Structure 1
């Protein structure tokens, strides 16, 4: 069936197309009520649906927002997508969701396709250091908001960034374990070749060094460069790390900082595979504070991101009437993460008990 046009609505209502346009764009304050009623009736009877892309190009407001996340396979991104949708509904907008798997080519393709479909505001959850691969779309006027990625020196001036301070987050995690008395602390992650993950690792290192310890002496899990980022595989990344760290010949950690909660939960599963008890034998802290963190047994200590606040800020910027090439300099919002202490982190066992556990494990 052919699509109903604004001209057909105007003809059925006995008005001009511009009068119908005024109604569609909320400019009917001074219109005679009978005229408004005829237009509404014609729209309903004909089943007319306005072209969103055309409307937002005319009035400069973004009606549909593009949201590109690594993968909703990680509950953190699923929760963030939900909060974005809640904020979008409140703003009278809708959301198109894309999963990029942190692949630059997919990110670029999604951004280009969304732009071609009339989407003028995109929230891009990327951790790549450079935005050169989508700069041509930004130059055309795209209102781009990067999430979980602080502003970088080479970013176009119009780009807005919303993120937590990941360096502080990594520092808080390591400091908490150090304060409990741990001196053998491992850092576990998939690839850290991204802006946010590298910042978390630097924060971890800062706390270790401030405590007078050497990062090089820590029992690090070194598999992260050979494995993927772990947005989908995060639990398996953590589980593999636990097996590698506690079945090898190296010094075994008494505590672990995981790059995110799913990696931490996978590590917990790996410890249980080996007959070790989370919290008692090995302390572990995650990052993100997803809903599963509090539901796990024992509940997981984590670094909380203020996800609702971050989603609201990102949405506000994405629907801004200004943006893109020639706009004012974009904002950079950096929020502070929060340490949430639960039962997965405790003081380390006395050395004699710990050695007994290690001896038992070596015999298995």
Structure 2
């Protein structure tokens, strides 16, 4: 099998980026002994630069990186398809990585992408701090942080593209209040991402404004809470909250997979979704309309968001750098919500 740039890096005890810099003449600030060590490893292993590395001499290759939390959540599978579709029309292909919102894993992916000549990346973890990507921005990588508003201390040159998550949560919560629900619950896995925190903020601001009691249920530290566990988290929340002294009559879940888990927990409790208990999700994945009853949710304008991300990355060097773009969500009312007390 062909020797990889990562194997050369390990043999020379340097990073893949350092090997890439040697291969492409970017060694002006490098210690002579480091360069010699890399060249010796290349010769010893018989490494031959691939097409991507060769093209770095004249510019970026026609490839984008897409780092998502996990395509186990259908939302990210749909977004990946949309990004790829837009990218292909511009002559670019897409490399997909699943990070589970782990900064260390994201750093490793970005290092490998950069070393292989991929200089443009859509990063979808929505973490509050993305200091781990700053070294790549300094080297010239173009990064779009997706589903994340700008944060204090963000590195210069970072572009953020997001839906208004707080507004979406306000729309969902207001819908439940207008239906007469006065015991509401917000359900989420771990709140480590900016988008989830914004959704909680929107929920709280709406119930607090009207003085309505509400419960916030988040992951209990058991290790659940990632995109792989969203449905399980929703089901566990429904079990616990519906068994309480004053169970909620309505749930707002942080995303649709979590909401579908809540629906399963409601059914397990012998209750009827959309009659005894109302449930709202967020994202409007394809399963939302196929569920029974169909799920009321907040729709993100994914095609427009994907197009904006790709357009920035494949555009001119100064097109949109450092900007924040926020798009408006939409409430989609289906059968999983109804007036409070409609089942009695």
User: Does structure 1 retain, via aligned residues, the 8 Å contact 2:176–2:337?
Assistant: yes
Tell me the SS of whatever aligns to 1:168.
helix
Stretches of 4+ aligned residues off by more than 2 angstroms: 50-57, 219-230
C-alpha contact (below 8 Å) 1:239/1:266 kept by paired residues: yes
Shift of 1:320: 2.7
2:226 matches 1:239: no
Whole-Å Cα distance in 2 between the matches of residues 163 and 200 of structure 1?
12
Cα distance in 1 for residues equivalent to 2:215 and 2:127: 28
Q: 2:330 aligns with which of 338, 344, 351?
A: 338
Q: Does structure 2 conserve the Cα–Cα contact (< 8 Å) formed by 1:61 and 1:319?
A: no
Paired residues for 1:87-166 under 5 Å: 87-166=86-165
Residue in 2 that maps onto 1:313: 308
Q: CA RMSD in A?
A: 2.1
Structure 1 SS opposite 2:217: coil
Q: Distance in 2 between matches of 1:53 and 1:321?
A: 22
**Deviation for aligned residue 1:224:** 4.9
Aligned residue among 287, 293, 302 for 1:292: 287
Give the secondary structure class of the aligned counterpart of 1:134.
helix
Q: 1:270 to 1:111 in 2, by over 3 A?
A: same
Distance in 2, matches of 1:80 and 1:264, equals 19
Give deviations 1:264-288, integer Å, cap 9, x for gaps: 0011011111111001000000000
Change (3 A) 1:288 1:64: same
Bigger Cα displacement from structure 2, 86-95 vs 225-234: 225-234
| Structure 2, gaps ≥5 residues long | 3-49
CA distances 1:294-315 after superposition (whole Å, capped 9, x unpaired): 0011110000000111001101
Query: What does residue 55 of structure 2 align with?
Result: 55
Contact persistence 1:145–1:159 (CA under 8 A): yes
* Matching of residues 74-89 of structure 1 within 5 Å: 74-89=73-88
**Which residue of the partner structure matches residue 274 of structure 1?**
269
Deviation, 1:64, is: 0.4
Deviations 1:306-359 (A, max 9, x none): 011100110111223416xxx9842211001100000101111179x3xxxxxx
Distance (Å, rounded) in 1 between the aligned partners of 2:54 and 2:246: 63
Aligned residues: 298
Structure 2: distance between partners of 1:328 and 1:164: 17
Contact 1:186 1:253 in 2 (8 A): yes
Contact 2:225 2:233 in 1 (8 A): no
1:159-308 matches, within 5 Å, as 159-213=158-212, 217-224=213-220, 226-247=222-243, 249-308=244-303
Is the CA contact 1:190–1:225 (under 8 Å) kept in the aligned structure 2?
no
TM-superposed deviation, 1:54: 3.6
- The answer for the alignment partner of 2:12 in structure 1 is none
C-alpha distance 192-75 of structure 1, shift in aligned 2 (>3 A): same
How far off its partner does 1:219 sit? Answer: 3.4
> Partners of 1:144 and 1:82 in 2: how far apart?
19
- Shift in CA distance, 128/339, structure 1 to aligned 2, threshold 3 Å: same
**TM-score, normalised via structure 2 length:** 0.82
1:233 and 1:222, CA in 2 relative to 1: closer, same or farther beyond 3 A? closer
Q: Is the 8 A contact 2:120 2:141 kept in 1?
A: yes
1:65 aligns with 2:61: no
Quote the Cα distance in structure 1 between the aligned partners of 2:226 and 2:74: 12
Q: Is the 8 A contact 1:165 1:336 kept in 2?
A: yes
User: Highest CA radius of gyration, 1 or 2?
Assistant: 1
- Alpha-carbon separation, structure 1, partners of 2:57 and 2:66: 19
